[in-house]
Structure 1
């Protein structure tokens, strides 16, 4: 690789960094960072003088300056639009605006049972006039949003196809990470919902769904995902396992699919002797058609944009540099669409591609040298490509989930031979399905065999030690990952020096010991009185008498949404049996994991709220009792008392008094609220998913102060402030799922409990948390966030 190939890279990287910073932290932060960058460059020019290096710095500075002039206005427009939406969400206003669909509408997955009705659709706001509340405003940027609709609005939303426009009347919710438009009216715009390109794409995807209907859900969704980007029907558990195994890029179409498709099309043409220019014209048509088929996935957009100059150069008889094409792609997207350039899909795709182009060849040579020729060049590349791609993506992946797997690279190596055939067969099946559905089903069945082996590999890796090594969250985790990568690079470069080898070994032990330690049995607390399980967007709380051994009595309050997540927590904490199961109310995020309670873990008894619907959600075979105000349970010094509800009728009256909760039934206000007392005087109050009217009823009973409070409804904005003021907790527990689409927990609720002096522990940030027994025991994270 020549120096000329790298000329665009520094400038493009700086522009990309400014775009990401501007979208995530605001245009002002990007301007400040740009000023610092210019100051550093000018300082370098002063020190270097008229040398050639100074001219190089000046050329890069000119490129960055020109790009910044185009980028900063886009960032300021984005800030203006997000500010208007943020104010609308804070004031609870309704907006009338136009969006363009980024994907076909689909039924929501995950979350409480009541939240899975209707449809949701990823979209972008169309810049232009809009109405927020009573004000006419102008939205100046294409802000990504999630549109949700129920009832008649969902029927209208279901007619919108990927790439089509819709006019909405919607309530604005969510936070800066994801704006949610809860639509009450949806009107197709510009011919949407008719026979346009979006409808044709939808028909092709429907052919694929019908052809895979007889396959297992996960395998069918994976095959369709690798070919058309349609992953509807894949279970959350399968997606999570693939993410932990480091192959989440296979769940949907990525930039690598374009390379596979081009190889499948151009390979036979090359063997048949087709001339270069006709091959390149076909390649351009294939890329365009494939991008149309899969939609505007950021990784595909990156790959298609990068392919354009490479194909054009080859058509002109010039051999272009892939590195230069990547740099040009990154710079163009950063300036023209910084939101896409800052998206997770684009970040991961560009980082992985850059690492493969820049680092894989030298690493392969190093591996070949270190093995003294026992590893051939091809084998070394097979190892190096997934290794450098995973390494480059790790800092970003830590932001999504603070854990790493030692099996990610081996899993990628094992599944790589399966991905190509499954993708190509899936595309052939899709085209065949237009004229012969039976033949398409046959080919999809063969492709599903490869998908099954991919899932089997991921599940096997997920069950092995080292598959979920916890690392620090946020900036600390990212900086730590970058530091480890730098140390690894230095170690490879100076590997012949003994002191470097010893130094690296010591640093690796220090860096990995905390994460590995969490996997070891000795790191699990033998004695704890409270454990908040990280089970995603749901509740699961374990209680024990202070100082109880593993065989001591255990109370479980709710089960979370998924059996596997609850089982993971119970295994982690070595919980063998459940003496009392409290199912606070019949919503899936509180009772969906009850299938994990079998065998020795089947509860000895269980409490449910007095609503008739609660009886349908119990664990079969265990005695069931209705829990109403005043009911008590005590064992070995652990005492429980029900604070609410008084009756089913009281819960229904409270629910009828609600304004704006949007629940639609009385289940939330029937949540069993508990007082828990330990012999040392520690007092916990749990509030289930009570809405303000239900919380007001608890407050009417004068519950008094509590040391710990389980915050109601995952920290939603619907809270009764006087109740929290009376409880005046020192510790607030918030069970909530990472990247949930409900905006939980809200800043208002967090400010409420923090304003009372409470320390907040959230499962989406702190993972599974235990309160060990003993004097001055501090809460401790023992499992990854969910």
Structure 2
């Protein structure tokens, strides 16, 4: 028998009285925020039918009265909600019309967070600067016309990093020069999608700077954390003041991959920690109830003023206010009723806020903890036969139900799930409270005693360091980035899975359900084991180059050196078949593509694009400068045409585009080819990419270059290389002078089994033999990975075994290649 949870955790009818109405009204607010008034009325009608019809058909007349009472409350709430929805729709219509007419808008905005470079891709991208802002209700200029925003809107400003604003005057600045709390006048083009408003700014002018105690405390926090490591400093400031400026992209990605992104900045739980830090010591010291409640209210209000109006903080504050008032009056508060009250108030007063992602996730997690954590703890105790029960079971249940409740919404944002989120939260939870409380003390004393504050920051920074270690560890484990269907299909699938798990847990005492659960668990474990293991035992994990066996086509992977927990990954072409590319990425445990290079728009190089969805959606993509290349790119990230001279610097890896010179030069060279002009134009547009690692190893991929283009490249002096991806799957159309100039020690031939083209051509293999260059072929060797020689030495405790090769020398030879997948 499971240990019963304390009586306080048992929910009464009074606790739940407002919940159905609150949830229904919240749903209507979300619909109205995204779609407008008419969809709200349609949704209301559907809710009424869904509530009444089953009861009437079942003949439960005794339940009709209770349902009608809820529906009456819902109707009253909807009547109050509709004006707010109309105002939100009117504000959105102004910006949507400006978007439709391609007109610029000029308006004021208040910066909510420090602007930061957010490329949507790896660190080498031409950075944009993004800043969340509030657009206050008031006048907005659309072109030369003036309109009015009847309600404030949250928006995201996007501007080019370092691009100065046009105009005159000392207040002109780039978006990157704005600061949190500044009031700025912006000019730009709006983009509206649902509740998301984004403005691409071209001009920014500061009207007013952040002042007052809040600005002083934030500035002092930055100064006193200046000696800490950048990520740790940004994380502790984020937990305490919401200022995450300086947090690296790698740390942010790790926190997201581990399911710890709610710790990156302030949330509603931080307000609970602050109130607890005030109330608990006073209670232990025997302070009277009302004075300690008043002090908690003052501290809580100060904290909200410090961190700003983040949606989750607003939810927590609105929920805490009636609970503190009830305790002040000597009444035992109901957290569930307080949450329902907060949902009703925000849905009616500000549907845009109630429908914001931060508010939704905060409310879902809080509701799940209050309602589902106690029964889940009892189920955990029962399933573990009391080995884990009582408070210990509750500790596990809290992050479990919170993550479960948020998962469908999170999938709408990033279509992936992690097996390690709950474990990561369990490990990080004990570190967050002390870091937040001590950090706030350091914030408060920072302007008065910066030296003492600097010492105090050391303890929160230690907690932040441990949190980052947990995040990087959890994000790098197998199963940390499991792709799921995106959009509504993924969210509804998650709901279905969670409902099935809940049903099996509730019916766990039935033998058939236990057998079904055992079979499902066995299938999941088998799939997880297959996913977590390499295709072959002993396959190299430290590879930097991989040639995927995808059939008659190209798909080459490059990774930064040294290969760490979060390497940058470059994919050159996607082959002809999405399923084959997916299999290769699964075998190599590649869960993320930072850069996609599509050498040219032929089906055997771009046919596998459909495999790049969800977490494998490339963060940036490069294409050749032909008109057809843009249409062959992966939908989503902007496709950037690249030419010789373009490149990128990564940690441990340098990328350089060697060819083409320009679109016009491609046409000129292709006209000299003996192949068809259509084939020559596309093939000779192939992006030739050189990759140079920090140990000096060099790779050159030739795409499908034809002989004339190869000869032109040879005249430009491509330089020697250690590894070459042979052009056009090893066809006979090669230029020997280019390969002599490259002088590779190893060649990759990416070619399909039993292809009808006769690839690789005997003449090409003979040319490589004459140069003394051995070839690795995907039609014979399957998916092949190459490990840098220095890494192989450290793993194997010996050299690479090749004659004349010095241990630790850069480059690769045939002994460094390993097959990790079947030929295709």
CA distance in 1, matches of 2:596, 2:307: 30
- In the alignment, what sits opposite 1:591? 648
Question: Is 1:88 aligned to 2:98, yes or no?
Answer: yes
Change (3 A) 1:464 1:130: closer
Question: Is 1:318 aligned to 2:411, yes or no?
Answer: no
Change (3 A) 1:440 1:585: farther
Change (3 A) 1:111 1:206: farther
Deviation at residue 139 of structure 1 after TM alignment: 2.5
- Asked if structure 1 preserves the Cα contact closer than 8 Å seen for 2:95 and 2:192, the reply is no
Deviation at residue 509 of structure 1 after TM alignment: 5.9
Measured against aligned partners, the alpha-carbon deviations of 1:285-343 in whole angstroms (never above 9, x if no partner) come to 11111111111111111111100000011111111210000011111111111112111
Change (3 A) 1:274 1:616: farther
- In the alignment, what sits opposite 2:241? 228
Deviation at residue 532 of structure 1 after TM alignment: 9.0
| Aligned mate of 1:133, from 143, 147, 172 | 143
RMSD value, Cα: 4.4
Deviation at residue 100 of structure 1 after TM alignment: 3.2
- Asked if structure 2 preserves the Cα contact closer than 8 Å seen for 1:470 and 1:515, the reply is no
Partner secondary structure for residue 359 of structure 1: helix
Structure 2 gap segments, 5+ residues each: 1-10, 167-171, 537-546, 560-566, 585-592, 598-611, 617-623, 626-639, 663-687, 711-725, 736-749, 759-821
- Asked if structure 1 preserves the Cα contact closer than 8 Å seen for 2:373 and 2:397, the reply is yes
Partner secondary structure for residue 652 of structure 2: helix
- Given the two structures, how large is their TM-score scaled by the length of structure 2? 0.66
- In the alignment, what sits opposite 1:172? 190
Question: Is 1:57 aligned to 2:57, yes or no?
Answer: no
- Asked if structure 1 preserves the Cα contact closer than 8 Å seen for 2:156 and 2:199, the reply is yes
CA distance in 2, matches of 1:296, 1:532: 47
- In the alignment, what sits opposite 1:631? 709
- Asked if structure 2 preserves the Cα contact closer than 8 Å seen for 1:533 and 1:539, the reply is yes
Deviation at residue 500 of structure 1 after TM alignment: 0.9
Question: Is 1:357 aligned to 2:370, yes or no?
Answer: yes
Question: Is 1:275 aligned to 2:266, yes or no?
Answer: no
Change (3 A) 1:623 1:405: closer
Deviation at residue 213 of structure 1 after TM alignment: 1.5
- Asked if structure 1 preserves the Cα contact closer than 8 Å seen for 2:133 and 2:157, the reply is yes
CA distance in 2, matches of 1:482, 1:509: 21
CA distance in 2, matches of 1:466, 1:517: 11
Change (3 A) 1:520 1:473: farther
Worse-matched range after superposition: 498-507 or 156-165: 156-165
- Asked if structure 2 preserves the Cα contact closer than 8 Å seen for 1:561 and 1:589, the reply is no
Measured against aligned partners, the alpha-carbon deviations of 1:76-129 in whole angstroms (never above 9, x if no partner) come to 333333233233224321112233333344455555879766854211222233
- Given the two structures, how large is their TM-score scaled by the length of structure 1? 0.69
| Aligned mate of 1:35, from 25, 31, 45 | 45
- In the alignment, what sits opposite 1:607? 658
- Asked if structure 1 preserves the Cα contact closer than 8 Å seen for 2:195 and 2:352, the reply is no
Deviation at residue 260 of structure 1 after TM alignment: 1.2
Structure 1 gap segments, 5+ residues each: 551-558, 564-568, 574-580, 598-602, 643-675, 683-771, 775-786
CA distance in 2, matches of 1:534, 1:81: 47
- Asked if structure 2 preserves the Cα contact closer than 8 Å seen for 1:15 and 1:331, the reply is yes
Question: Is 1:463 aligned to 2:476, yes or no?
Answer: yes
- In the alignment, what sits opposite 2:77? 67
- Asked if structure 1 preserves the Cα contact closer than 8 Å seen for 2:690 and 2:701, the reply is no
| Aligned mate of 2:453, from 437, 440, 446 | 440
CA distance in 2, matches of 1:372, 1:625: 59
- In the alignment, what sits opposite 1:300? 313
- Asked if structure 1 preserves the Cα contact closer than 8 Å seen for 2:690 and 2:700, the reply is no
Partner secondary structure for residue 396 of structure 2: helix
Question: Is 1:328 aligned to 2:341, yes or no?
Answer: yes
| Aligned mate of 1:9, from 5, 11, 19 | 19
- In the alignment, what sits opposite 1:739? none
Partner secondary structure for residue 227 of structure 2: coil
- In the alignment, what sits opposite 1:98? 108
CA distance in 1, matches of 2:558, 2:209: 41
Change (3 A) 1:494 1:176: closer
- Asked if structure 2 preserves the Cα contact closer than 8 Å seen for 1:368 and 1:380, the reply is yes
CA distance in 1, matches of 2:124, 2:358: 30
Deviation at residue 276 of structure 1 after TM alignment: 0.5
CA distance in 1, matches of 2:403, 2:415: 15
- In the alignment, what sits opposite 1:366? 379
CA distance in 1, matches of 2:111, 2:394: 40
CA distance in 1, matches of 2:558, 2:84: 39
Measured against aligned partners, the alpha-carbon deviations of 1:497-533 in whole angstroms (never above 9, x if no partner) come to 1101122334556678778765554599743424498
Measured against aligned partners, the alpha-carbon deviations of 1:749-772 in whole angstroms (never above 9, x if no partner) come to xxxxxxxxxxxxxxxxxxxxxxx9
Question: Is 1:193 aligned to 2:209, yes or no?
Answer: yes
Change (3 A) 1:587 1:431: farther
Deviation at residue 12 of structure 1 after TM alignment: 0.4
Measured against aligned partners, the alpha-carbon deviations of 1:431-485 in whole angstroms (never above 9, x if no partner) come to 1211111111111122111111111112222222222222222222212211121
- Asked if structure 2 preserves the Cα contact closer than 8 Å seen for 1:107 and 1:116, the reply is no
- Asked if structure 1 preserves the Cα contact closer than 8 Å seen for 2:416 and 2:481, the reply is yes
Change (3 A) 1:211 1:503: same
CA distance in 1, matches of 2:224, 2:643: 36
- In the alignment, what sits opposite 1:757? none
Which structure: larger Rg? 2
CA distance in 2, matches of 1:518, 1:476: 23
The 5 A counterparts of 1:549-560 are 560=594
- Asked if structure 1 preserves the Cα contact closer than 8 Å seen for 2:239 and 2:266, the reply is yes
- In the alignment, what sits opposite 1:454? 467
CA distance in 2, matches of 1:677, 1:212: 55
Question: Is 1:79 aligned to 2:89, yes or no?
Answer: yes
Worse-matched range after superposition: 236-245 or 538-547: 538-547
| Aligned mate of 1:505, from 518, 521, 524 | 518
Measured against aligned partners, the alpha-carbon deviations of 1:253-305 in whole angstroms (never above 9, x if no partner) come to 11111111112222222222211001001111111111111111111111111
- Asked if structure 2 preserves the Cα contact closer than 8 Å seen for 1:130 and 1:136, the reply is yes
Count, aligned residues: 620
Change (3 A) 1:544 1:345: closer
Measured against aligned partners, the alpha-carbon deviations of 1:201-257 in whole angstroms (never above 9, x if no partner) come to 232112111211122211111111111111111111111111121111111111111
- Asked if structure 2 preserves the Cα contact closer than 8 Å seen for 1:562 and 1:593, the reply is no
Deviation at residue 74 of structure 1 after TM alignment: 2.5
Change (3 A) 1:511 1:28: farther
- Asked if structure 1 preserves the Cα contact closer than 8 Å seen for 2:548 and 2:556, the reply is no
- Asked if structure 2 preserves the Cα contact closer than 8 Å seen for 1:545 and 1:638, the reply is no
Deviation at residue 376 of structure 1 after TM alignment: 3.8
The 5 A counterparts of 1:399-548 are 399-507=412-520, 521=534, 526-528=549-551, 529-531=553-555, 540-542=571-573
Worse-matched range after superposition: 497-506 or 82-91: 82-91
Change (3 A) 1:318 1:594: closer
- Asked if structure 2 preserves the Cα contact closer than 8 Å seen for 1:9 and 1:327, the reply is yes
CA distance in 2, matches of 1:389, 1:110: 28
CA distance in 2, matches of 1:503, 1:473: 28
Partner secondary structure for residue 457 of structure 2: helix
Question: Is 1:253 aligned to 2:266, yes or no?
Answer: yes
Worse-matched range after superposition: 388-397 or 96-105: 96-105
- Asked if structure 2 preserves the Cα contact closer than 8 Å seen for 1:100 and 1:166, the reply is yes
- In the alignment, what sits opposite 2:173? 155
Partner secondary structure for residue 156 of structure 2: strand
